[in-house]
Amino acid sequence: MKIKKYVALTLVVLCGNVVLAQKSDLERGNKYFDKFDFGQALEMYELAYEHEKDNPELTRRIGLCLRRLGGIDQSAEWFKKTLDLDDSNPSDMLHYAEALKSKEDYTLSVFWYARYAMMEPEDQRAQSHIRDPKYFHDLQADSLKYFVKKLEVNTDQPSFGVSKYGDGYLFSSAGVRNLAGGEDYAEGLSYLDLYVCEKDARDEFVQISPIKGDINSKYHDGPAYYDPSTETIYVTRNNIKNGRPVLDKNGNVNLKIYEAHKDEDKWDKIADMPFNSNDYSTGHPCASMDGSTLYFVSNMPGGFGGTDLYMSKKTEAGWGEPQNLGASVNTEGNEMFPFLSEDGKLFFSSDGHAGLGGLDLFVSNEENGTYSPAVNLGFPINSSHDDFGMMYEADNESGYFSSNRDGKGQDNIYYFSTLEFMKQIFAATLQSADMMQTLEGETITMKNITSGELRETTLDAQNAFQFTVNAGDELAFYFGGKEYAHGEPIFEHSVEGPLQDTYYDAGNISLSEEAYVASLGKKLINPNEALAQENERRMKAMLELREQTNQLAADKASDLEMEENQDSEPDLAGSNTSDSEVYPDPRARMKNGIEAGLNKEDLNRLNAMMSERNMGNVYFGFDSSKLSHAAKEQLNALAELIKENPSLVVQISTHTDSRGSKTYNEHLSKRRAESVQRYLAGMGITQKQVVLTWHGEEQLVNNCVDGRTCDDLAHEKNRRAEFAFITEEMAAELRN
């Protein structure tokens, strides 16, 4: 929904009363907000914002209203404004991260999940996202796995929650279009009712009509589930008594699950479930195949977060006490819309597990009462908006789900089917006996045992590789080029058909040192050894720079000595002064300060030499001011250079990448500058020899700006400290 701008008011406000009116708008907005009337609250807050743009509580409330009204992607702007004004509230970070997902800005979203995790480290909503910062790449890799289409019966009113109903279907809607003649049911966004229908050869819903009986009330009815084993419909309804809503202690109307039984061809005998309560909600029912277990959603006390999934078993005494499905399924967020397939898989929606935005659909397997970790179904089943209400047909290859992905804000019903493929991407990662050994750039060859075809590729920085394969292929893999594709392979793989996934990850494949040496006749390179080699290179470059600095200062001192000799009469009387006093060591003059030596041009030459040797920058980890081992080695050499030349002044300029608010990044770059200064101070470098400047995200070295997707290697180039030698005059200007 777009934020409305109200330029005309029916109330005439005198200029002297502007502040009172502003305060009144804010107070009226708060009253509407407390009554859960978020639409009216938003209008008042927008009016107040015209005169009070620097109030973080106001921008926060606008963002919260948009979230409650379904505009989570539009709330991103307002939570960013809030964080720019006040970045101390962890809830703002979480809401901003969630809003960024809905805008498909996943990299920046992960950054804010990480910020939130620093303040709330136990919250699994953040941990599930930062555990693998590039998780969204995997979720988007399934784009060819499913065929998805929006049903033609959808209107601009919400429709969702499909369940099998005999040979037809049962779903909830506030308005549908009847395709095969008959009456359309468009009620102008009033209340949800239950409808029954059939499907045609195109998997479209036809012959739609309201369900018969007393299930549909004058308030919301649905979603519902039909249990064929007991011929019972379980339906979610508002908590109504004697035709009137029942309020809890906070003034809310909660949801309850009711069961209905058939009387001839009508659904009557509607009864309240025993685990319902006036103090919390229950809803979204789904039964097991034999009808003995009911799965549902509730925000009852004692759960993990907002709404959790529960189950209740039916005994001779009735329905048992609800049991929470546990931490593998439930999070601090919201889990809802459970569905149990015929093969026993639990499908549900969640905004707490790592996903693509809003509610995502997940699947979990139950074994001996324990549920496996939830697995995201990926794109295109999931999108950056709400995706929920999965229902699989008996063949487990097609079904229906609901989503508001079309951007119009309403829930619609979608049909999906899994696709069979002729080709698949096979991926794996080689892992040597020494976990620290790197294989990057080495060759691996794949042999098709059936056809004899040989193909090769190289390993990436993570020792990973991939090939495109076909259904039915029998494959052998060899370390090295095609000339090594004989004898015992390092592993084999069969591509079983028919393919129903375009991507298969075989995980880690062990590679022994013996296999490596046998293939290529050389030892693996250990990253620690590579790091040592790089540090040795840098130290050598630093020593060369130091020698050139000494020589430059010595030359300057020598020039000055000649000038002094020209300006004075030589002492020819034969004094007892030694040669070392008459012709002092130029290095001694240099150690007394550059005041007798280097000028701005000389310093520029020094800085150019540092730049040529790639010695000017120290890099930092993501959202960190901690110095790495390599950074400390470089600072050690820099400190020695400064101590040998005590009149040198070094400017430390620190930077961040673009992720995070400008205010936060400015503080982060300051912390990085102070971290470098503290380390140099520990090496004996005084404050007089150092000038600190920090720039936040203002001086990026590439195009990784806000709103642009970059990998972490690109962002890393911006997370840096730069060093430059400057004159005393320049230092004085910077300090002032």
d(CA 660, CA 647) in angstroms, rounded, equals 38
Q: What pLDDT score does 542 carry?
A: 53
Return the structure tokens found at 15: 């200029």
Q: Give the integer Cα–Cα distance in Å for 463 and 457.
A: 12
User: What would the pLDDT profile of 685-694 be if each residue is shown by its tens digit?
Assistant: 888 888 888 9
State the pLDDT at residue 84: 93
CA 524/CA 513 separation, integer angstroms: 8
What HEC string does 456-505 produce? EEECCCCCEEEEEEECCCEEEEEECCHHHCCCCCCEEEECCCCECCCEEE
- Separation in Å, CA 196 to CA 165, 202, 264, 298: 8, 18, 17, 26
Cβ contact 548:554 at 8 Å = no
> What DSSP element (H or E) covers 541?
helix 527-567
pLDDT score at 499: 75
Buried b (16+ CB within 10 A) or exposed e, 267-287: beebeebebbeeebbbbbbbb
| Crossing angle of the two packed helices 75-85 and 90-102, in degrees rounded to 10 | 150
679 Cβ contact partners less than 8 Å away, ≥ 6 residues apart = 627, 632, 635
Query: What is the model's pLDDT at position 150?
Result: 94
What span, in angstroms and rounded, lies between the C-alpha atoms of 678 and 660? 25
pLDDT of residue 327: 93
Backbone angles phi, psi at 466, to 5 degrees: -155, 150
Task: Give the pLDDT confidence score for residue 128 in this predicted structure.
Answer: 92
Distance of CA 303 to the CA centre of its chain: 25
Query: Which pLDDT score, from 0 to 100, does residue 211 have?
Result: 92
At 12-39, the pLDDT tens digits run 333 334 444 455 889 999 999 988 889 9
For 322-327, the CB contacts below 8 A with 24+ separation are 322/275, 322/296, 322/298, 325/295, 325/371, 326/370, 326/371, 327/124
As a whole number of angstroms, the distance between CA 2 and CA 574 comes to 96
Regions of the chain short of the pLDDT cut 70: 1-23, 142-144, 178-189, 407-409, 420-422, 433-438, 500, 512-616, 707-709, 736
Query: What are the strands, taking DSSP E only, across 501-645?
Result: 503-511, 617-619
In whole angstroms, what separates CA 497 from the centre of its chain?
34
**Residue 293's beta-bridge partner residues?**
313
132/115 Cα distance (integer angstroms): 15
pLDDT confidence of residue 585:
31
Taken in order of first residue, the domains within the chain and their CATH numbers are 15-133 (1.25.40.10), 153-418 (2.120.10.30), 423-523 (2.60.40.10), 528-546+583-735 (3.30.1330.60)
- Give the Cβ contact number of residue 420 at 10 Å: 11
